[in-house]
Amino acid sequence: MVLSEDEVCLRMSALPARFGDRLTREDLEDLDRFLDVGEWLIALQTLVGLLRQRQAPITSRELAEFGRFRETFAQAPDPRGYLARQLRVLRDRADSLPLIPSLTEQEMVERVSALPETYADRLPERTLDWLTGLRDEKEWEHLAESMVSMLRAYQVPVTARERDRLAMVLDALNLPREDLSRLNGGTTGPNVADKANEALEVTPAEVG
C-alpha cells in the first residue's frame, strides 16, 4: 500500500513515541535530527540501525509498517537504481530484527479486557472502578492508555512480563509505547494495594 505524503509525515512523526520503550534518549535524539528535516528514508534507516544495535525486537505490525514505507519510497524516480539498492538493504536489515507476532483482534480484546483484574490489587478502588467502566463500554484505546498512565502515576510495580503484555496491547491498538519505559520495574509484592490506597487518588483529568 502506497502512502500519501501526509500519511508518511504523520506516521514517521509517530516513530519516536512508538519505539521509545526500546531506544535510549540519545537514540531518539539521533532519529529526531532526520525527522525534523523530513529526511524520511534516512530516518527509517537510522531507526532500523538503532534497533539492530540494541538487538530490540519488533512486532509483525511494525515490520509491515516498514514495508509500507519502503513501497512508498520506491515510487520516487531512480534512474541509476541507487534508491532500489538502499531499499533492499533496508528490507534485509529490518527482516533480521527479532520478530514478535502481533496480537489478533480477539487476542487484543481478551488482554485489554483483563487489565482491570490484572492490577486490581495495585490500584485504588475508585480508579479501578473507572477503568472497569471503560472496559464495560469497550473503550479499548482509552482503557489501555489510561491503564499505563495510572500505573505510571501511582508508580505501581510492574513485572517485565506484564510490561511486555502491555506493549503488545498498545501495538495492537497502534498506540505509543514510550511511557512503558517510565513504569516502575520490578516484581509485585505484599501491601502494594494498601500503599496505593493511601496515596492521593489521581483522577483522569489529572493524568497527562
**Cα gap 13→16, rounded to integer Å:** 7
Q: How many residues does the chain have?
A: 208
**Cα gap 111→168, rounded to integer Å:** 9
Structure-block grid coordinates of residue 97: 530484527
**Cα gap 25→27, rounded to integer Å:** 5
Q: What is the pLDDT along the chain (208 residues), one digit of tens a residue?
A: 899 999 999 999 999 999 999 999 999 999 999 999 999 999 999 999 999 999 999 999 999 999 999 999 999 999 999 999 999 999 999 999 999 999 999 999 999 999 999 999 999 999 999 999 999 999 999 999 999 999 999 999 999 999 999 999 999 999 999 999 999 974 333 333 333 344 334 445 444 4
**Cα gap 163→205, rounded to integer Å:** 24
**Cα gap 158→185, rounded to integer Å:** 5
Q: Is 203 exposed, middle or buried (0-12, 13-18, 19+ CB in 10 A)?
A: exposed
Structure-block grid coordinates of residue 39: 529526511
Do 69 and 40 contact (CB within 8 A), yes or no?
yes
DSSP state of 99: E
pTM, rounded to two decimals: 0.84
